[in-house]
Chains A and B, each alone.
Chain A
């Protein structure tokens, strides 16, 4: 079966013009290569002759030959100019022959080689020019083809050719995109966008950055006692029914252990200077050994503080039930049970706290108090934004505070945003209507407790 490649004469002309233009371009490229080779050879000859104090005779001969008509094209009666060119060439040739006789043989052979090369390349250039002329005679548009038009006109022919050669359409697409629609730009690098930029673009993801905010809050317990993650994990693995141990502040040091039932335990503080900032020094018997029967019975809690120096420390004995914690004075220190590892085996254990010096004790008091802070509940007034609230708490770092507030109230906020703001979270911190009247939980960061309280009071 014979398939006709061209459906009309125009396609045929376009196709042949395309082939002719390809050949024309190849010829042009060839000529350029020959020309550069000639220039290189002429320069080399010039350098050789310069070494022997002679001018570049080969270049001069080549120059004159270029001015003359191509060989074989000379009319029978050559003009005077042509004959003068011939005379000049013969003079230069004689001069060159003299030079060659007077230089070493290997050098003269080099000159001869380069001269022949020049003559050869000139011939090839002439041949290429003749081919180009022939092509232009047959296809006058071979040197000015509009490729876009040709590809457009020949798209069906290319399809046929591809079908024949088995090429896929995807290849065609890529070829077309490279030639016509290529707008590719190389990527130099990829990096994470800075937060400031994301804020400007209003695409900051609060969930991502709340993690950063949570970090300092979880770290803050690493204070006087040098609490580390290992201790936390150790304590977390202890019985869940032990919730907290409360130790009274100076001058009264009290200790309580909250269990499911009421338990009183004895905390003994012997010497004010004996304690060191090491968790291992605080000994509490593990509650795992306590039986349920024992737990059901209230046990008298005794806290004894023995001080050498009355000025620095006062001793006190406290026996009270944990349920009465609300009645404790403000100064009372409340330490998290996680702080203290358990080692004792009986419920009647004596917790020996070797008291530090007075100044250190004061630090314990502050930190311990902050550990157990509940989130502050704040009723949002009208015309008051979350940004205002966060700024009132910490003006310089209000974004982080806002993020923490958002995280603490995420459920309520998301609900309100979905109901009242079409689910758009962007800019809710500046909305003064959205959260009016809502009881907002303010997460208490240990170091910020006082500042927040102050800020809230101020804001309210």
Chain B
């Protein structure tokens, strides 16, 4: 687990708030929503991301696979 619930992931020009996480097929997915840089407003749009560590650098990647998103939606709701 790279991120925990209620943590803020800081990127180059935007931040994400971690809302939840789930494991599907041994892969960890995080449900996040965008937060402005001042950290006072939260975007209502929620997305799923994955974290990848490569050559010592941590990256996040948005999940776009519809099947995984559907499965994650089910898990997160339950």
Residues of A at the B interface (CB closer than 8 Å) are 181, 183-194, 196-198, 200-201, 203, 205
27 residue pairs A–B, Cβ–Cβ below 8 Å: A181-B64, A183-B61, A183-B64, A184-B59, A185-B12, A185-B59, A186-B11, A186-B58, A186-B59, A187-B57, A187-B58, A190-B7, A190-B9, A190-B10, A191-B7, A191-B8, A192-B6, A192-B7, A193-B17, A193-B35, A194-B39, A196-B40, A197-B8, A197-B40, A200-B41, A200-B42, A203-B6
Task: Tell whether B52 is near chain A: CB-to-CB under 8 Å.
Answer: yes
- Judge whether B33 and A190 touch: CB under 8 Å: no
Binary interface encoding of chain B residues 3-28 relative to chain A, with 1 for a CB under 8 A from any of its CBs, else 0: 10011111110000101000000000
Q: Across the interface, which residues of B come within 8 angstroms of A200, CB to CB?
A: 40-42
- Judge whether B17 and A201 touch: CB under 8 Å: yes
- Judge whether B12 and A188 touch: CB under 8 Å: yes
- Judge whether B8 and A187 touch: CB under 8 Å: no
Task: Compute how far the CA of A203 lies from the CA of B8 in the bound complex, rounded to whole angstroms.
Answer: 13
- Judge whether A192 and B8 touch: CB under 8 Å: yes
Give how many B residues have a beta carbon under 8 Å from the other chain's beta carbons.
26
- Judge whether B42 and A197 touch: CB under 8 Å: yes
Task: Tell whether B76 is near chain A: CB-to-CB under 8 Å.
Answer: no
Q: Which of B10, B19, B62 contacts A203 (CB 8 A)?
A: B19
Q: Across the interface, which residues of A come within 8 angstroms of B40, CB to CB?
A: 196-197, 200
Q: Across the interface, which residues of A come within 8 angstroms of B52, CB to CB?
A: 184
Q: Across the interface, which residues of B come within 8 angstroms of A201, CB to CB?
A: 17, 19, 33, 42
Task: Tell whether B60 is near chain A: CB-to-CB under 8 Å.
Answer: yes
- Judge whether B39 and A197 touch: CB under 8 Å: yes
Task: Compute how far the CA of A193 lies from the CA of B10 in the bound complex, rounded to whole angstroms.
Answer: 11
Q: Which of A185, A192, A205 contacts B11 (CB 8 A)?
A: A185
Task: Compute how far the CA of A189 lies from the CA of B8 in the bound complex, rounded to whole angstroms.
Answer: 8
- Judge whether A184 and B60 touch: CB under 8 Å: yes
- Judge whether A188 and B11 touch: CB under 8 Å: yes
Q: Across the interface, which residues of A come within 8 angstroms of B51, CB to CB?
A: 187
Contact A193/B58 with A200-B41, A201-B33 known, Cβ cut-off 8 Å: no
Given contact pairs A187-B57, A192-B7, A192-B8, enumerate 6 new A-B contacts (beta carbons under 8 Å).
A185-B60, A187-B11, A190-B8, A193-B17, A193-B39, A201-B33
Q: Across the interface, which residues of B come within 8 angstroms of A188, CB to CB?
A: 10-12
Task: Compute how far the CA of A137 lies from the CA of B43 in the bound complex, rounded to whole angstroms.
Answer: 56
Task: Compute how far the CA of A387 lies from the CA of B11 in the bound complex, rounded to whole angstroms.
Answer: 37
- Judge whether A184 and B61 touch: CB under 8 Å: yes
Q: How far is the CB of A309 from chain B (nearest CB, A)?
A: 60
- Judge whether B64 and A187 touch: CB under 8 Å: no
Task: Compute how far the CA of A210 lies from the CA of B62 in the bound complex, rounded to whole angstroms.
Answer: 34
Counting chain B CB atoms within 10 Å of each CB, which of A187, A193, A198 scores highest?
A: A187
